[in-house]
Amino acid sequence: MKITALEAIPFDIRYSKPLKFASGEVHVAQHVLVRVHTDDGIVGVAEAPPRPFTYGETQVGIIAVIEQLFAPQLVGLTLLQRETVVTRLARTVGNPTAKAAVDMAIWDALGRTLGLPVHELLGGFTDRMRVSHMLGFDEPAVMVAEAERMRDSYGITTFKVKVGRRPCSLDTAVVRALRERFGDAIELYVDGNRGWTAAESLRAMKEMADLDLLFAEELCPADDVLGRRWLVSHLDVPFIADESVPTPADVTREVLGGSATAVSIKTARTGFTGSQRVHHLAEGLGLEVVLGNQIDGQLGTACAVSFGAAYQLTARRAGELSNFLDMSDDLLAEPLQIRDGVLHVPPGNGHGVEVDPDKLARYRVDR
């Protein structure tokens, strides 16, 4: 079970439908495939999605930090020394998706070595999750049509609507159009990616007071400390902290400071080991939890559903597991399938998925 090598392989796959939101746009998935090799000949895999506008990471930077800083510190440890791995990775600040991918590739290698699925090793609560789809910025009619397509093709009935544009009416009109089109047959919540001020956020939430929203996520920046506390104290729905909580300590700060009342768990940024810590903290504090999406590809989504299905708290709500549908292609040998609004954990050991070597050869950009 000894780690012998780490690989970080860049690959680029275009989105057939780019995602636009208040803090950026994604047209090409410029991700990094991480592979962990062991002396038993096992290879564990995971995917790091750089989000420069969210965490300051880039594809080139992720490769550099894995090859130059992480690999030399991890080679020689065993797959069972995950706490030592986390401690060594924590010597480097930031770089959440690079750390998360290394952690999840190690869990995949462990599952493959033991002949067990990771979701069972983690918690084994269930083997599936309901799916929530994220709708990026567009005109109301286009976003309603997209929601119809997601419902008709995949049975999805929970939608996270990207908001944070000015004037706020651009976004409130979309949420109203969705509610008018679908009535109470869908669940709706909004994510501002820090686009509004606290005052704009409250005005928009009041405008949408009759639209039965489940949550509001990261509507204004967490650095507007008093403004955000004021906003959260005036809302009557849970306020989800997402990019403001890349670590468990950040969750503690935001929640105890009154700046959040719920948390988005993203395996793309806290891996499995860190996500366990965030999950347990949220459970102890009595917080609502949503399994979030870092605009993951299918490998990242397989990791997310493995974690989300492992615990009652994460499996209770629909998880954001469908943005890979907007990509023109992917790396997996067997594509993930969403049916009747549900994604099952892929059957098999580790994450239960295999990277197709031909697809990797086609999309890798280091050769």
Residue 295 binds what, of Mg ion, ligand MUC, none (CB under 5 to 8 Å, by partner type)?
Answer: ligand MUC
Collapse the DSSP code of 306 into the 3-class scheme (helix H, G, I; strand E, B; otherwise coil) and give the result. helix
242, 218 Cβ separation under 8 angstroms: yes
Q: Is the peptide bond before 167 cis (omega within 30 degrees of 0)?
A: yes
Tell which positions 225-254 bind Mg ion, by CB under 5 A: 242
* 184 has catalytic annotation: no
Question: Is residue 146 a contact residue for ligand MUC (CB under 6 A)?
Answer: no
Point out which residues pair with 33 in neighbouring strands.
Answer: 9, 47
Find the residue with minimal CB distance to ligand MUC.
54
* 266 has catalytic annotation: yes
In sequence order, which residues have a C-beta less than 8 Å from that of residue 210 and are 6 or more positions away? none
Burial annotation 185-221 (CB, 10 A radius, 16+ → b, else e)? ebbbbbbbbbbbbbebbbbbbebbeeeebbbbbbbbb
Tell which positions 76-95 bind ligand MUC, by CB under 6 A: none
Task: Give one DSSP letter per residue of 117-145, joined into a string.
Answer: BHHHHHT-S-SEEEEEEEE-S--HHHHHH
Question: Would you state the structure tokens that stand for residue 297, as one six-digit string?
Answer: 């590809």
Question: Is residue 294 a contact residue for ligand MUC (CB under 6 A)?
Answer: yes
Q: What is the DSSP letter of 347?
A: S
Question: Is residue 243 a contact residue for ligand MUC (CB under 6 A)?
Answer: yes
H/E stretch holding 235 reads none
Residue 296 binds what, of Mg ion, ligand MUC, none (CB under 5 to 8 Å, by partner type)?
Answer: none
* 152 has catalytic annotation: no
Rounded to the nearest whole angstrom, what is the least distance from the CB of residue 323 to ligand MUC in the complex? 8
Q: Which stretch binds ligand MUC (CB under 6 A): 175-183, 249-257, 286-294, 350-358?
A: 286-294
Query: CB-wise, 111 or 300, nearer to ligand MUC?
Result: 300
Tell which positions 174-213 bind Mg ion, by CB under 5 A: 191
Say how many residues touch ligand MUC, by CB under 6 A. Answer: 12
* 81 has catalytic annotation: no
Tell me the catalytic residues.
162, 191, 217, 242, 266, 294
Residues near ligand MUC (CB under 6 A) are 21, 23, 51, 54, 191, 193, 242-243, 292-295
**Which residues of this protein are in contact with Mg ion, per CB under 5 A?**
191, 217, 242
